[in-house]
Structure 1
């Protein structure tokens, strides 16, 4: 088997990267150059996409955001705000033999791991997309691993039989209040709702307005998702979801709610009608990215989802570990 060459991709090679994302499992929208460039531009990130080549063919790779901390520490991560996973990708093997597929996967990941270790990073954090299960080339070589979770709602099932009594009651209240749902792509409405939700907690929104404006533009240009809203009989939008299309699924990426209308059950109505809508369009499941936040877990469990694990790996230099320990100690003393 020929060896693997790993190098940083030039911007002119991003189209080739996107073709790999499209074909690879589990390639996601969060791996695409368009999404990564939004993160880079709006959040002022230093983006690098590293490609793995075999005989000139791109067969794997990994996007990373690189940051220098006070000129002392160089850290790299495959995620950023509201991009929960991205991480390594590999081209699917053509072999029917499990042993050959594992061999090819490990060859690509080992080459990538060795390359990253030579880039002078003090910390490297990679979060794999759900469905990428074999992270052993990292854990066998001293990287620490963590398990995370998301929820899948199976669109082939009967949603009514899976609803808890509490969710049934919320949907009934929303219906009796005259709330309706529809698709409506309007970034101003979404950001207004998001700001209201965070203001209630005395917090700033996790991303600036410009990020959502770019995402909405991408959604409209590429037809890769939609905003679904709950509104009153008077036409006031009181809740919204931003949904992004994936392979056979829709990712419920983020939601926003006017807290004054929470008691009317608009979010439960959104999930219920989204389920029916996506099912009618032959999607297989809804990926509800809320399984790592306890308050959201309590809500979504009322729809009887399947719990799906995904993984991250981390490698830290001694210098980084010492700096992190000092920061935690200092922060604890000043709190």
Structure 2
């Protein structure tokens, strides 16, 4: 059998570190902390070709009231947009025929394991840059396309600035003249308080897990996760975000707009774009391109869209469970009674 569970953190992380598709979401502590706080069982699979490890696939399993689900990543409360497969470091340099053969091996072995687990609902969302899902389509999986906002940081800063919406540039200039102070911190208290208020609103249909989850992640990756706070001259908070800084600069979680006389969110994002470029990151990514009410704000900054794909499969039970959640349990008035948003 070419598919095995890997329980060696060093082997896992070394593979992620060398793969060009490996992100912080894939790292061993990140996956185990996520499983712990979301209530899923982590299945850290490795796909082998002979003795050679050619791919990692962290999957998360849960059985609730007899309904079995298998995800990568787990649903939205983990704030992971994509995870899925991590091919080996040389994968992108191989000839197309060899890449196709490896993807056939990966899809075949994973499909056999998925059939053995027999989940009612399965979803695998791949990172941007892994778009060849033909081997999964030929095995009956359903594709879905997702998007993310990206900025190419190899451009001169002037080109990035010139790509902004003209009204956005005016707001940023005004905020810059006001003398804002940017602070990088490992303390998520103010950020979490702001996000708590946002997700506790009755109209929000996304449950949020505990503060302890984010605290555990920040402890595990102090060099790669950060909270940024923007204060005005009087010391009042005007904007707050969390970032991931590993391989790419990811604008990860943002607090809702804080009422002030200046465009704090806009100015904070510009400062972080400049910071990411100065640190040598190739890409600045702002997740959230699949949320219509955020699109105009985010697209003011970005000149491009990245694409990532999901493959999924569900049987009649999974379809019914999905409908029940979206149509009944997911109603805001009911969810506030049955879903523990936050501590």
TM range (shorter): 0.7 to 0.9
The answer as to whether partners of 1:25 and 1:131 remain within 8 angstroms in 2 is no
Aligned residue for 1:118, secondary structure, equals: helix
Q: 2:2 aligns with which of 2, 5, 9?
A: 5
Q: Please, which runs of 5 or more residues in structure 2 have no aligned partner?
A: 335-343
**CA–CA distance in 2 between the matches of 1:156 and 1:293?**
27
1:73 to 67, 78, 83: 67
Find the residue that maps to 2:58 and give its secondary structure. Answer: strand
TM-aligned CA distance change 1:331 to 1:212, over 3 Å: closer
CA deviation string 1:143-193 (max 9, x = no partner): 001000001111122222111122112212322333222322212122122
Give the total of aligned pairs.
325
Could you list the runs of 4 or more consecutive aligned residues of structure 1 that deviate by over 6 angstroms after TM superposition? 326-335
Shift of 1:194: 1.9
* Corresponding position of 2:81: 84
Partner Cα separation in structure 2 for residue 331 and residue 197 of structure 1: 20
Deviation at 1:294, TM superposition (A): 1.4
1:303 partner SS? coil
Q: Which residue in 1 is equivalent to 2:307?
A: 309
For residues 255-294 of structure 1, what are the structure 2 equivalents within 5 Å?
255-257=254-256, 259-261=258-260, 264-294=262-292
CA distance change for structure 1 residues 211 and 129 in 2, over 3 Å: closer, same or farther? same
Q: Distance in 2 between matches of 1:328 and 1:161?
A: 41
* Aligned residue runs from structure 1 range 73-222, under 5 A: 73-80=67-74, 81=77, 82-91=79-88, 92-93=90-91, 96-157=94-155, 158-199=159-200, 206-220=208-222
Deviates more, 1:138-147 or 1:97-106: 97-106
1:23 aligns with 2:12: no
- TM-score, normalising length: structure 1: 0.88
Alpha-carbon displacement from aligned partner over 1:70-95 (angstroms, at most 9, x marks no partner): 0x221111123201111122213386
Partner in structure 2 of residue 226 of structure 1:
226
RMSD, aligned α-carbons: 2.6
Change (3 A) 1:297 1:213: same
SS of the residue corresponding to residue 240 of structure 1 reads strand
> 1:188-226: per-residue Cα shift (whole Å, max 9, x none)?
122122224445667587231111211221232xx1132
Structure 1 residues 17 and 316: alpha-carbon distance in aligned structure 2, compared to 1, 3 A threshold: same
For residue 329 of structure 1, report the CA deviation from its aligned partner.
6.9
Give, in angstroms, the shift of residue 318 of structure 1.
3.3
Q: 1:239: which partner in 2?
A: 239
Distance 1:319 1:216, change over 3 A: closer
Post-superposition shift, 1:122?
A: 1.7
Indicate conservation of the 8 Å contact 1:196/1:258, yes or no: no
Asked if structure 2 preserves the Cα contact closer than 8 Å seen for 1:241 and 1:256, the reply is yes
Describe the shift of the 1:197–1:217 C-alpha distance in structure 2 as closer, same or farther (beyond 3 A): same
Secondary structure, in 3 states, of the residue corresponding to 1:147? strand
